[in-house]
Structure 1
Amino acid sequence: MKKIMSWLTIIGLAGFLAGCSNNTEGSSDSSSSGSDDTIQIGVSAFPGWYTWYAVEGFNQFEKNGVDVELVWFNTYSDSLQAFNSGNIDGVCAALSDTISPALNDVDFKVVLVNDNSAGADGIVAQSKYESLKDLRGQTVATEVGTIEHFFLLSALETVGMDENDINLTNMTVETAGPAVIAGQVEAASLWEPSLSYAASEGDTNLLFDSSETPGLIPDTLMMSGDMLENRSDDVQKVVDAYFDGMADYVENPDEALGFMAEQADISTDEMAAAMAGARLFSVADNNSAFHDEAEDYTYLPYTAEKTAEFLLEQEMVSKELSDPTSIFDSTYIDALYEENPDLAVPDTQAE
């Protein structure tokens, strides 16, 4: 029962629960509790982004001389809205969710990649459905306009289907998991930890996950143009703090998982299991993703270009992304790579 209640807390089964945050009341109210110098970064419930709470737990923001407040959002799309409206300074976002703000002239850049989803996103269905093709004509839940919508459409494309072949219903990730368990929908497109909960606690099948689409879903840190222009040194400190925190994670994995699990209100074992679906990016991985030009998903601008094309085909955006490189600013990774190219990150998939 304790385990079940822990998972119910993190996925927000009851919308009126207080939420998991140590820093806010778990809503999209991003009013700062710090000074004008505090950098607010929006974080949501995805394993690769819980790593920021390890960075905070190891006091790496303070050690690097930067004042950062991690602002928790129970609903991922609320964090994007807060960032795009200028209410927070940075946000953890899937690369696919950088396309629309770029096309709508939101002033930002992607400054680092936390991870690639490698099993942390998936499609869970009631057990009578054994393949994606079985979902033809069935009700499938996702949070429309977000990465899970994009992932669902990409998954359907692998079996020659599209959105017109299903009955799509709009639900947040926090509510879609419980809905598929309860039989209210036939399937749902989810990310961790909602994914593991829905796949393990109900009479359900995991039909497809992001390990089958390697590189499709990079998870990034977006920083506002104002921060980049006026506080570039502090942005560098944020990036440095992140990778110092990951080095601490390598040396003290149980302690790191403890910080992350406390934020998620789950056990360290559950957090380790959730992290197995995220391949964390080192400084070297970031450098390669920014600079090593390739016609595949290892290269960020290529991924952005193909993602934007897909979103346009699906009419999820209204125009082409003319210059995919415009989304990225490698300045901060470049500086860190030059200084310490061998900074490591945990091999979470080996856990």
Structure 2
Amino acid sequence: MRTRLLAAVLSVVGLLAVTSCAGSPAVPAKVTLGFTAWPGWLPWQVAAEKGFFAVNGVDVELKYFDSYTDSITALATGAIDANSQTLNDTLMSVSGGARQTTVLVNDISTGNDQIIARDGITSVGDLKGKTVAVEKGTVDHYLLLLALNRAKLHEGDVQVVSTMTDSAAAAFAAGHVDAVGAWAPHTTTALTRPGSSPLTSSAEFPSSIPDTLVVREQLAKLRPDLVQRIVNTWFETLGWIAHNPDEATAIMARRAGVSPQTYRAYQPGTTFLTKQENQKAFSSMKLHQEAAQVATFMQQTKLTTRLAPVDGLFDASFVNAP
């Protein structure tokens, strides 16, 4: 899906931070919201197709990205107003100077991010000296580093092949690398390789990968009414999905490019947070503490060159609104 080097992303973000002093992108009446084929963000497709944004009085242009990295860069450079991205990827952007605000936790990854290996590799420790395809600087690169750290290995102990996630999954399925880091639905492609199986997944690192809605800081400050309506739309969409599971699954599976049967298999690996669970996560400082831990780990493992600031990164007002 995405094939940008971390240094390139950070250089773009850094340039934005410098130029933003002279002026920021205008606050729009229409909000452009980015998302990619992650099960925790596909309810946005349901919201668009069922007209829930309009019902809540907000004009949203839903922009689907084949490349997740492109969506992160688009938000960091002001090309879009809001994006669906993980906590660690948001920290990557703010470490480079982007001004962003997290307003909602869509879900926690509970198994849909996986490190998958070929037959004969049965543990993370067995990856030493092996080739691992992963999109560097993004969430499953982060998962790989978490897994290596727990196995008392370092990134230098494996041969990382950096490529877009869909390409990584295809390369692994074709037998070109020993292992791959990928998320659903790309895990389905990877697991077509005979004898392959997951070595570890996000299920083994509880709460480490929250998937969130992030907006430009200026949008949150100057048009909080628009952000609030989008957050309201999210929770209403989840309610509709709960009462119309078959129709909702068909919509999300079509956007993901898989069958409804395949899509249903992803459901245990994505745990959606209710409004009440969001309120608890924001008010208990749990998100802030998790972000501080992730930021430290990312600096230690050289995913970022400096510690990402977490103060002001979260705004609880939108999930706390009646």
State the percentage of identical aligned residues.
Answer: 33
Task: Give the structure 2 partner of residue 328 of structure 1.
Answer: 314
The letter for the 2-side match of 1:198 is A
Q: Which moved more, 1:240-249 or 1:190-199?
A: 190-199
Equivalent residues, number:
297
Confirm or deny: 8 A CA contact 1:55 1:246 kept in the other structure: no
Confirm or deny: 8 A CA contact 1:58 1:248 kept in the other structure: no
Query: C-alpha deviations, 1:203-240, integer Å up to 9, x for none?
Result: 31211111111101000010112211222101100000
Deviation at 1:273, TM superposition (A): 1.2
Moved over 3 A (4+): 200-203
Q: Distance in 1 between matches of 2:222 and 2:284?
A: 29
Residue number among 294, 297, 302 corresponding to 1:307 in the alignment:
294
Query: C-alpha deviations, 1:275-326, integer Å up to 9, x for none?
Result: 3210001101111111114xxxxx111110111001110122122235x242
Residue number among 267, 278, 286 corresponding to 2:278 in the alignment:
286
Confirm or deny: 8 A CA contact 2:174 2:193 kept in the other structure: no
Structure 1 counterpart SS, 2:229: helix
Q: Does 1:317 align with 2:304?
A: yes
Q: Distance in 2 between matches of 1:261 and 1:145?
A: 27
The letter for the 1-side match of 2:250 is G
Q: Distance in 2 between matches of 1:202 and 1:61?
A: 43
Q: How does 1:119-198 map to 2 (within 5 A)?
A: 119-198=111-190
Deviation at 1:144, TM superposition (A): 0.6
Structure 1 counterpart SS, 2:40: helix
The letter for the 2-side match of 1:179 is A
Task: Give the structure 1 partner of residue 228 of structure 2.
Answer: 236
Confirm or deny: 8 A CA contact 1:57 1:256 kept in the other structure: no
Q: Distance in 1 between matches of 2:170 and 2:305?
A: 33
Deviation at 1:71, TM superposition (A): 0.6
Q: Which moved more, 1:268-277 or 1:233-242?
A: 268-277
Structure 1 counterpart SS, 2:102: strand
Task: Give the structure 2 partner of residue 218 of structure 1.
Answer: 210
Confirm or deny: 8 A CA contact 1:196 1:274 kept in the other structure: no
Q: How does 1:1-351 map to 2 (within 5 A)?
A: 37-293=29-285, 299-322=286-309, 324-335=310-321, 339=322
The letter for the 2-side match of 1:331 is S
The letter for the 1-side match of 2:238 is M
Change (3 A) 1:334 1:79: same
Structure 2 counterpart SS, 1:49: coil
Confirm or deny: 8 A CA contact 1:42 1:73 kept in the other structure: yes
Q: Distance in 1 between matches of 2:91 and 2:317?
A: 20
Deviation at 1:242, TM superposition (A): 0.7
Query: C-alpha deviations, 1:187-208, integer Å up to 9, x for none?
Result: 0111001113312454312111
Q: Distance in 1 between matches of 2:43 and 2:192?
A: 24
Query: C-alpha deviations, 1:103-136, integer Å up to 9, x for none?
Result: 2331210000010000010111111211111111
Segments of 5+ residues of structure 1 without an aligned counterpart are 1-10, 13-35, 294-298, 340-351
Q: Distance in 2 between matches of 1:320 and 1:195?
A: 31
The TM-score normalised by the length of structure 1 is 0.82
The TM-score normalised by the length of structure 2 is 0.89
The letter for the 2-side match of 1:304 is A
Structure 2 counterpart SS, 1:327: coil
Confirm or deny: 8 A CA contact 1:83 1:90 kept in the other structure: yes
Segments of 5+ residues of structure 2 without an aligned counterpart are 3-27
Q: Distance in 2 between matches of 1:51 and 1:277?
A: 15
The letter for the 1-side match of 2:126 is D
Confirm or deny: 8 A CA contact 2:140 2:181 kept in the other structure: yes
Q: Which moved more, 1:77-86 or 1:52-61?
A: 52-61
Deviation at 1:254, TM superposition (A): 0.9
Structure 2 counterpart SS, 1:116: strand
Confirm or deny: 8 A CA contact 2:92 2:308 kept in the other structure: no
